[in-house]
Amino acid sequence: MPSTAWESRVDAGTTRSAAGRVVGTGRSVAVTPGRPGAGLAHHGRVTHLPTDVRAAIRFFAFYLANDTLDVDLLDGIDYRDRVFRFGSDLEMAFAIFTNVLEVDEEGRTLNDGEAQYRVAQWIRMRCDPDYTAEPPFEAWETELHGP
């Protein structure tokens, strides 16, 4: 349970203040509010998502909404009705993308294409019962995080 009124739980083992500071994790990264666009700062502090990460999420959302997410894998499959009709499918698409996305110490994305491809594989599995993703999804890829 949070020790003061300004803290809130974000997931098991992590406490976050209402101001955004993460306290009580085993990690060296703390999240604190700061100047928009600042990205990673010194001593492991993160103020906002780095510009590269925000761009990767924006492009992913654009491709997903415009039916251009991995056009080779999803050729001929109109997945938008399914993904956008049911909130849990859209939620899972973003969960997979952000779980797979890797970011270096400078805040640069390392594998946004791979993250998009894994989402495309998941969508294809939802729309095509004969399709099997290779490699199979691991639990951490489809984990939903939050309070």
Query: Do 114 and 76 have their domain in common?
Result: yes
82: pLDDT strictly greater than 90: no
Query: Residue 31 belongs to what domain range?
Result: 7-46
Query: Do 121 and 56 have their domain in common?
Result: yes
- When pLDDT is averaged across residues 72-94 and rounded to a whole number, the result is 92
Query: Do 40 and 111 have their domain in common?
Result: no
Query: Do 90 and 19 have their domain in common?
Result: no
Mean pLDDT score across all residues of the chain: 77
Q: Is residue 42 part of a domain?
A: yes
Q: What is the β-pairing status of strands 45-46 and 30-31?
A: parallel
Kindly report which listed range (15-19, 69-73, 116-120) carries the lowest average pLDDT score: 15-19
- The CA distance from 26 to 18, in Å, is 20
Task: Give the pLDDT confidence of 84-112 residue by residue, as tens digits.
Answer: 888 899 999 999 999 999 999 999 999 99
Whole-number pLDDT of residue 34: 38
Query: Do 74 and 134 have their domain in common?
Result: yes
Query: Do 62 and 41 have their domain in common?
Result: no
124: pLDDT strictly greater than 50: yes
- The CA distance from 46 to 34, in Å, is 8
- When pLDDT is averaged across residues 132-137 and rounded to a whole number, the result is 97
Whole-number pLDDT of residue 64: 95
Number of domain units in the chain: 2
Q: Is residue 24 part of a domain?
A: yes
Query: Do 25 and 72 have their domain in common?
Result: no
Q: Are 69 and 115 in contact (CB under 8 A)?
A: no
- When pLDDT is averaged across residues 137-146 and rounded to a whole number, the result is 95
Cβ neighbours around 60 below 10 Å, total: 20
Give start and end residues of each alpha helix (H) in 2-72.
51-65
Query: Do 65 and 87 have their domain in common?
Result: yes
Q: Are 40 and 52 in contact (CB under 8 A)?
A: no
Query: Do 40 and 60 have their domain in common?
Result: no
Looking at the chain, the whole-number percentage of residues with pLDDT higher than 90 is 60
Query: Do 35 and 72 have their domain in common?
Result: no
Whole-number pLDDT of residue 6: 26
Query: Do 86 and 105 have their domain in common?
Result: yes
The structure's pTM equals: 0.68
Q: Is residue 72 part of a domain?
A: yes
